[in-house]
Amino acid sequence: MRFPRAREAYSLLLLGFVAAPILAGLDKFFYLMVDWDKYVAPFFETLVGGQASTLMLVAGVVEVAAGIGMWIRPRIFSYVVAGWLGAIILNLLLIPGFFDVALRDLGLLLGALALGRLSGVVDGDG
């Protein structure tokens, strides 16, 4: 590889973007880290009949699948994860008091996009 530092950056981002979605997704079933239901905007909770926990279970499945997909095909799933983070940001912007979390997730979204771009360099066609 011509760019060893790019490979290192890629590996660090990949590790984080495999582990974080899987861990957060699994926790949607166990609620050990946080009460995930508080992160559902009232608008979306209404759409699912007031069942924020059901929506979080679906989110958990999506996040575990995204983490596994990132491990197998990071070049594709980095953009899937970025889109998912964009949806999470929109949801968080509808909840007063969670703008700091939305800003943090914007940083994650940018990291996912950077991982997607680095995938081309690491794979040798970028």
CA gap 7, 123 in Å, rounded: 10
pLDDT one-digit tens code per residue, 58-88: 999 999 999 999 999 999 999 999 999 999 9
Ranking 1-10, 23-32, 65-74 by mean pLDDT, the lowest is 1-10
Per-residue confidence at 125, pLDDT binned at 50, 70, 90? low
Sign for the CA dihedral angle at 53, 58, 62, 68 comes to positive
Entry pTM: 0.91
pLDDT of 10 over the 80 cut: yes
pLDDT band at 3 (very low <50, low <70, confident <90, very high): confident
The dihedrals phi and psi of 96, each to the nearest 5 degrees, come to -60, 140
Q: Which of 126, 100, 95 is nearest to 6 (CA)?
A: 126
